[in-house]
Structure 1
Amino acid sequence: MSDIYTNPISFNQLFTQEFGSKEEQKEKINVIEIPIIQRDYAQGRETSDVKKIRRTFLDVLFDTLINRKNIKLDFVYGDITNGKMTPLDGQQRLTTLFLLHWYIAYHEDIEEINFLSKFTYRTRFSSRDFCSGLVSFKPDFSQQKISEDIIDQPWFMGAWSNDPTIVSMLVVIDEIHNRFKNTSNLWSCLADDANPAISFYFLPIKEMGLTDSLYIKMNSRGKPLTPFEHFKANFEKLIKAICVDLYNEFIFKIDNNWTDILWKYRGENNIIDDEFMKYYRYITEILCYQHNYEIVDDDFVLSEIVYGINCPKAKYNLRFLFNALDCWEKYDIDAFFESLFSSNQYEERKVKLYISNRNLFLQCCNDYGIRDGHRRRFTLNFSLLLYAVLQFQMNRESITLDEIFERLRIVRNLVFNSSDEIREERMNALLQETSDIIVKGEISLDSLGYSRNQKEEEIYKMEWRRINPTLADCSCHLEDHFLLQGTLRIIDIDDIDNLQNKEEAFFKMFDHSIPYMTISRALLTIGDYSQLFTGWRFSLGNTNDSTWKDLFSFSNQRKYFENTKDCLNKLLIDIDSELPVLEQLESMITAYKAKAIYDWRYYFIAYEPMRAGDSGMYYWENDRERQKNNAYEVIMMNTPSSLSGRHWYPFLLDVYWDGTLHEHLLIGEYGDPLYIKETGEKIYCKNEAWEITNEEGAITTISIPQDNGIDIEDRLIKLKNYLISYLKL
């Protein structure tokens, strides 16, 4: 193929270059004519799908010109006869480029624009005449909508408003105006022959050794190519420009082997177009992450970036794509994923995913690229897990089944415990680490991929399982618990003599059959198991799974994790898994209350309103060292991260909810004191006393006797008795 077809050219260069493989057959394009057989210009339609495509395309063009970049817009091919080029593919892009050149030329007062008059439509006379009128018209750029200025011209016929091509052109002109009206000096890079900002590959259909039979066939039925058929035709041309062998492989497998793989998962329309494109997009974006290519929404532009002739790794990338499809060919894919993963139950020699559908390949084919708001339906977590499976599939000859079960578990653990690290800008490192784990069994602490804390844990557990092979299943069972999800730092696994008992106790305690608040109270009988979040607020377990998950996972952003670990492990050791666990916990709570040591833990254990907040978060006031030195001056937060949300002083809240006093008291929701309705007096809880302030500011103090800062009398009973007497109830 001639170099002229493998080098990109710009829109205006179509009219200056000569085309032909032989010197005596070369000719110039004197006119570009959209033929009758072509469909109308569609990029200005107002459907949601077209709006998205149009805006994305124009955004790319705007960014390219403003930032002096270069972009290549895939292939344009057609027929050249007697100087007339008839586009058979690329009409939509050519028309948008025609409108962009027209706008910038007049916007910047460029005079040499005769080539624009050589672009026309033959689909309708009205479209042809509109193009002719447009190229000789300079609009009023001060108007908000240029389309209104055009429609107001004497050469614009009223009936043209019924021509869908003209209507679409007017919409696109207005959107171009919205983006480019405040720009300048763009023509120089747009029309630069040596280095045009926007270019494409033009391939005359005869030079490609093809006929237009496919195109004629598709249009003879009155229907345009479907998006998939359009993409497939362009992708075939792109591959052929890279490697004929890969091209031949693609055109065979896309209609045979790969169709067979996907056929089971076809949609309700009985075709595999959507499923193929979602999986193709997944693999292509994986390559973008690996090689730091820009990810764009347009599949045609993205395919050129990753697989086009200007990509140095195009052949490697195509082979990776093919292998990522070929690797499923000999497998029952459903059964394969079921052999690797369990759903919601622990299964030996499987990795639990906590989801009902374990077939990540099918999930990808259904959901990749779809967003529910800002949330990816096929998450980056799933992308990494599927990539781990792909690495196994592509390297099966060097990985044993025992190795893959351990390595997939490691990847699962890292994925589920690296929520801060798993984001797009780190995907390059995350993919590399995933590959190293699956293929080599190696975990790198130096790479900025997964959580370093979790990687350290995984390295430790690998050695621990080697030393304690008989307890390996016990550790895996614990890892799969829904509150742990791969992290075991909260469990002292080096206490091997008690590990199996702790495993049984943990599963019986945390199975939703025992109220979380009962577990929290029992833990408080052992010690202060709270953790300090973001340096100022303490968390205790409440009624939510997520709070306990946080407490059970190690983070450098929290303090006192070891306190939680010590309390939990002591509790698990004390539990006799042969006896009813709930009864044992309640006995521990009763015994602690009987000691009558009125520290802050006592009140949290004994009085339910002290634990009424939804977040499990507490803030101790005047506690600079964050040691709860002012133990009784505490705020209970209903929202997890801010005191601007609803919150109460829990000691006041308990008094407020007393059955005898409730009708006589009032309390707000934002750290307000407790009010006595009859007198308007305010009640405050201080570390060593209750203070009651009247409307004149006089303070009545009810002192609480203490020993080393700890109450030796129940302060709540004391205040309640005082108020009952004071109010004569």
Structure 2
Amino acid sequence: MNSTPTTFKQIFGQKLENETTINGIEIPIIQRDYAQGRNTTDVTRIRNRFINVLYKALTGSADDAVKLDFIYGNIEDEKLIPLDGQQRLTTLFLLHWYVAKSENIATEDYSFLNNFTYKTRFSSQHFCDKLVNCSPDFEQEKLSTWIKDQNWFMYSWENDPTVKAMLVVIDDLHKAFKKETNLWKKLTEGLEMPISFYFLALEEMGVTDSLYIKMNSRGKPLTPFEHFKAEFEKTIKEVSLAQYEEFIKKVDIDWIDMFWKYRSENNEIDEEFMRFYRFITEMICYEQNIPIINNDFDLSAKVYGIQNSNAQNNLQFLFNAFDSWRETENIGEFFNNIFSKNEPEPNKVLLYTETVNLFSMCCHNYGKTSGKRRQFSFINTFLMYAVQLYLIHRNDISVEAFIKRLRIVRNLALNSQDETRETKLTGLLQDVKNIILEEKIELNSLGFNELQKQQELDKILWRKKHPELEVCLNNLEDQKLLQGNIAIIGLDNTEKFQMLATNFIKLFNGDIHYKEISKALLTVGDYTQFVTWRVLFGNHTDSSWRELFTPSQKRRGFEKTKEVLSLLLDTKDVDLKSYITNLIDDYRNNENTIKNWRYYFIKYPNMRAGKSGVFNWYNDPSRKKENQYDMYMMNTAHALSGRHWNPFLYEVFQNENFKTKTTLEEYGALIILNEKNQKLASKNDGWYIYDFEDNLIQRIEIAQENGNDTEDRIDIITHFLTSYLN
């Protein structure tokens, strides 16, 4: 097999070992069209790089010389019929033509160009003949314009993709070389060979024509993935020949086979491969503070290219990542063994989702967005990175230790929403790495939420001291409203921990309506929390309760919520549903119950009808509910510009006896007494009736003691309106 480098000119007249002489090059009909002149983004980038390499090779030093890898082909009637290398050979043909014509080289010196032709179409063949025999005007800015103006140029050629591509490349060669001279000798003579390649005949390789036909039968342009792979191979080869050989050995067999199960609907794995490649590459970027760019070609050069001093290590991490999944016998089963979906399972980490195969999700969704939302979320990114680190280092980490560390990562990820954003991913991913590889939690790092990190450190020590309660703690962590943050129960009361945790899980398992739980809590005390001027209650949604049970610097009153909840849970009653019902009934029926705002919220359901579970106490500058009966019930959670009502007025309006006789609009409006043409207002000390010029007509005072009602103000206004409106 001939492995001696040769030049484009030297291939003409070259004698092979079997005494066959090559006198021409013919691109066969079965080959696809010349593609390097296409004007797509990917091809333009590749073409510009290739021409730049050729330019440096011809105008630079000996160190810039380039070898264009192997070109394979059959020899028929003393013509080389290329199997692989058509694109490079065509570009070299155009380069030799350009230099010969621009330097007025004698015809006999470039006559070999007449022996290069295309058989794909007659028009391509005819164009090559005419091109070799013309004399272009090199003063033109675009040679293609001059060529198309010649009387020998046929209009139909503009529909030939090969001819169109050649014209594009000719223009780009003109841009690159128009100021250069004395290139012909460097290109065609001497031993330096600035541009060369290896040629292998199929006969010497023992390859049959059937393989030739099979490899060329599709006649399609290279896919973006194939373009990338070719460029990436060159990038790796510049860094490490050993890693280059490893890559080309694995990429088309070991790794591609691994992705086949996750192929797209059109039975291709290109995008899936690239999404996983992109995931690993971006993880490296975040770790090494490499700016992330969208262009895969340029990013690969930054991360894995020769200019990066960590290139070999980065390539090894990439290879290890691919290998780790190839070595995982059943990827789906692997994820099912470490994660549970919607219900806790022993020795697994609950994900609260229907899908746990993060590798599959990564291959299909990484980098995709829906609006501004990442389809492969930050939380999935943290968990996938954690799993990836484990797989690479699984010889050093036991499965049991990994599950425990993965649980910590999940807890931190789910409880660091305020800290999770693109600009902080370097610190967040470093936290993941520290936890998975060393079970180390850095409190002062720029990563996950510090309160949650302190809680995870406390749990590690607590589990060691109380191994008998570890399962109970894990079950509490997995509860859907807590999702890893157990601060609302805490670890300070070890004696009652099991009872409090067990009752919490039973109470919030869905059997009891959230509104009833809220009423039961209010019988114990004020469990609400302030967010500036807004007051948060547990409503009918999971999110409202999760917010209350998760400490945050944005809210005030978490410790009070914890205290009230602990008192409610401090019971040995097995039937929690009856326990809750009895608490509420006893509170409402007790003559000694103080008629504060909590009394009304428990007794009258319409006062809690707002969808948000958020209230605003007005005339309350110190945020203590001082004027406790002055409030708005908010239907939207964040602003009074949304729909809201005074809940006492809303309760009155919902009375069936008054609905046809009164009107209550939104946005804090007063009740209109229709036939009276008057307005009813609820204030801290009683009820007020105004005319439509806001003149006070009547005041119904409510008796109070120590700021609390001593009589039920709803009963009083109900009796009053029954007679007043009639």
- Name the TM tier (shorter chain): 0.7 to 0.9
Tell me whether 1:527 sits opposite 2:530 in the alignment: no
Give the alignment's Cα RMSD to 1 decimal: 4.3
Contact 1:127 1:163 in 2 (8 A): no
What's the offset of the Cα at 1:361? Answer: 1.4
Within 5 A, what are the aligned runs for 1:420-499? 420-499=418-497
Which one of 34, 37, 41 corresponds to residue 38 of structure 1?
34
Alpha-carbon distance change, 725 to 275 in structure 1, aligned in 2, over 3 angstroms: same
Post-superposition Cα deviations, 1:304-326, rounded to whole Å, max 9, x if no partner, equal 12111222211111000001111
Partner residue in 2 for 1:653: 650
Q: Which amino acid aligns with 1:718?
A: I
Provide the rounded CA distance (Å) in 2 between the counterparts of 1:463 and 1:192.
Answer: 74
Alpha-carbon distance change, 404 to 221 in structure 1, aligned in 2, over 3 angstroms: closer
What's the offset of the Cα at 1:357? Answer: 2.1
- Structure index of larger Rg: 2
Q: Which shifted more, 398-407 or 637-646?
A: 398-407
Which one of 511, 532, 554 corresponds to residue 509 of structure 2?
511
Provide the rounded CA distance (Å) in 1 between the counterparts of 2:659 and 2:387.
Answer: 60
Query: Please, which runs of 5 or more residues in structure 1 have no aligned partner?
Result: 1-17, 21-34, 45-49, 58-74, 81-85, 93-113, 116-121, 139-155, 170-190, 194-203
Partner residue in 1 for 2:580: 585
Contact 1:205 1:212 in 2 (8 A): no
Counterpart secondary structure, 2:494: coil
Contact 1:542 1:548 in 2 (8 A): yes
Partner residue in 1 for 2:235: 238
Post-superposition Cα deviations, 1:96-155, rounded to whole Å, max 9, x if no partner, equal xxxxxxxxxxxxxxxxxx99xxxxxx99899999xx9999579xxxxxxxxxxxxxxxxx
Provide the rounded CA distance (Å) in 2 between the counterparts of 1:673 and 1:348.
Answer: 56
Counterpart secondary structure, 1:497: helix
Provide the rounded CA distance (Å) in 2 between the counterparts of 1:366 and 1:602.
Answer: 53
Provide the rounded CA distance (Å) in 2 between the counterparts of 1:319 and 1:587.
Answer: 65
Q: Which amino acid aligns with 2:34?
A: Q
Q: Which shifted more, 312-321 or 675-684?
A: 675-684
What's the offset of the Cα at 1:166? Answer: 11
Partner residue in 1 for 2:87: 88
Alpha-carbon distance change, 250 to 633 in structure 1, aligned in 2, over 3 angstroms: same
Provide the rounded CA distance (Å) in 2 between the counterparts of 1:613 and 1:354.
Answer: 28
Partner residue in 2 for 1:409: 407
Alpha-carbon distance change, 127 to 233 in structure 1, aligned in 2, over 3 angstroms: same
What's the offset of the Cα at 1:245? Answer: 0.3
Partner residue in 1 for 2:383: 385
Which one of 307, 313, 334 corresponds to residue 316 of structure 1?
313
Tell me whether 1:252 sits opposite 2:249 in the alignment: yes
Provide the rounded CA distance (Å) in 1 between the counterparts of 2:585 and 2:570.
Answer: 19
Post-superposition Cα deviations, 1:560-593, rounded to whole Å, max 9, x if no partner, equal 00111111111111361x22x2221111111111
Counterpart secondary structure, 1:264: helix
Provide the rounded CA distance (Å) in 1 between the counterparts of 2:711 and 2:465.
Answer: 52
Q: How high is the TM-score relative to the length of structure 2?
A: 0.74
What's the offset of the Cα at 1:41? Answer: 5.5
Post-superposition Cα deviations, 1:190-235, rounded to whole Å, max 9, x if no partner, equal x999xxxxxxxxxx99646577999998666421112222221211
Which one of 539, 549, 559 corresponds to residue 562 of structure 1?
559
Counterpart secondary structure, 2:699: strand
Provide the rounded CA distance (Å) in 1 between the counterparts of 2:382 and 2:229.
Answer: 27
Within 5 A, what are the aligned runs for 1:499-648? 499-533=497-531, 535-574=532-571, 576=573, 578-579=574-575, 581-595=576-590, 596-648=593-645
What's the offset of the Cα at 1:77? Answer: 6.6
Post-superposition Cα deviations, 1:268-320, rounded to whole Å, max 9, x if no partner, equal 44443232111111101111111122222222122112111222211111000
Tell me whether 1:337 sits opposite 2:330 in the alignment: no
Alpha-carbon distance change, 216 to 526 in structure 1, aligned in 2, over 3 angstroms: same
Provide the rounded CA distance (Å) in 1 between the counterparts of 2:218 and 2:45.
Answer: 30
Alpha-carbon distance change, 343 to 308 in structure 1, aligned in 2, over 3 angstroms: same
Alpha-carbon distance change, 135 to 713 in structure 1, aligned in 2, over 3 angstroms: farther
Q: Which amino acid aligns with 1:345?
A: E
Contact 2:233 2:244 in 1 (8 A): yes
Alpha-carbon distance change, 334 to 708 in structure 1, aligned in 2, over 3 angstroms: same
Provide the rounded CA distance (Å) in 2 between the counterparts of 1:305 and 1:658.
Answer: 71
Provide the rounded CA distance (Å) in 1 between the counterparts of 2:432 and 2:239.
Answer: 30
Q: Which amino acid aligns with 1:279?
A: F
Alpha-carbon distance change, 256 to 159 in structure 1, aligned in 2, over 3 angstroms: closer
Alpha-carbon distance change, 164 to 251 in structure 1, aligned in 2, over 3 angstroms: closer
Provide the rounded CA distance (Å) in 1 between the counterparts of 2:356 and 2:270.
Answer: 23
Q: Which amino acid aligns with 2:457?
A: I
Alpha-carbon distance change, 224 to 694 in structure 1, aligned in 2, over 3 angstroms: same
Alpha-carbon distance change, 209 to 719 in structure 1, aligned in 2, over 3 angstroms: farther
Post-superposition Cα deviations, 1:645-670, rounded to whole Å, max 9, x if no partner, equal 11111111111100101111111121
Tell me whether 1:294 sits opposite 2:291 in the alignment: yes
Counterpart secondary structure, 1:498: helix
Alpha-carbon distance change, 440 to 725 in structure 1, aligned in 2, over 3 angstroms: same
What's the offset of the Cα at 1:474? Answer: 0.3
Provide the rounded CA distance (Å) in 2 between the counterparts of 1:718 and 1:637.
Answer: 25
Alpha-carbon distance change, 235 to 654 in structure 1, aligned in 2, over 3 angstroms: same
Provide the rounded CA distance (Å) in 1 between the counterparts of 2:459 and 2:712.
Answer: 47
Counterpart secondary structure, 2:517: helix
Within 5 A, what are the aligned runs for 1:50-129? 88=87
Alpha-carbon distance change, 88 to 416 in structure 1, aligned in 2, over 3 angstroms: same
Q: How high is the TM-score relative to the length of structure 1?
A: 0.74
Which one of 355, 360, 363 corresponds to residue 362 of structure 1?
360
Alpha-carbon distance change, 431 to 697 in structure 1, aligned in 2, over 3 angstroms: closer
Provide the rounded CA distance (Å) in 2 between the counterparts of 1:632 and 1:55.
Answer: 72
What's the offset of the Cα at 1:164? Answer: 7.7
Alpha-carbon distance change, 575 to 303 in structure 1, aligned in 2, over 3 angstroms: same
What's the offset of the Cα at 1:356? Answer: 2.2
Q: Which amino acid aligns with 1:443?
A: I
Contact 1:492 1:569 in 2 (8 A): no
Contact 1:77 1:87 in 2 (8 A): no
Contact 1:610 1:654 in 2 (8 A): yes
Q: Which shifted more, 481-490 or 252-261?
A: 252-261
Counterpart secondary structure, 1:684: strand
Provide the rounded CA distance (Å) in 2 between the counterparts of 1:622 and 1:685.
Answer: 13
Provide the rounded CA distance (Å) in 1 between the counterparts of 2:483 and 2:382.
Answer: 16
Query: Please, which runs of 5 or more residues in structure 2 have no aligned partner?
Result: 1-6, 10-30, 47-65, 72-84, 92-101, 104-117, 131-135, 143-152, 167-177, 181-192, 203-210
Alpha-carbon distance change, 236 to 670 in structure 1, aligned in 2, over 3 angstroms: same
Post-superposition Cα deviations, 1:305-357, rounded to whole Å, max 9, x if no partner, equal 21112222111110000011112214322222222111112112111111222
Partner residue in 2 for 1:394: 392
Counterpart secondary structure, 1:88: helix
Contact 2:339 2:349 in 1 (8 A): yes
Provide the rounded CA distance (Å) in 1 between the counterparts of 2:138 and 2:701.
Answer: 90
Provide the rounded CA distance (Å) in 2 between the counterparts of 1:384 and 1:727.
Answer: 64
Tell me whether 1:350 sits opposite 2:345 in the alignment: no
Within 5 A, what are the aligned runs for 1:175-324? 207=196, 209=198, 221-324=218-321
Post-superposition Cα deviations, 1:410-465, rounded to whole Å, max 9, x if no partner, equal 11100110111121111111111111111111100110100011001111111111
Partner residue in 2 for 1:101: none
Provide the rounded CA distance (Å) in 2 between the counterparts of 1:283 and 1:210.
Answer: 36
Contact 1:342 1:351 in 2 (8 A): yes
Counterpart secondary structure, 2:299: helix
Alpha-carbon distance change, 610 to 158 in structure 1, aligned in 2, over 3 angstroms: farther
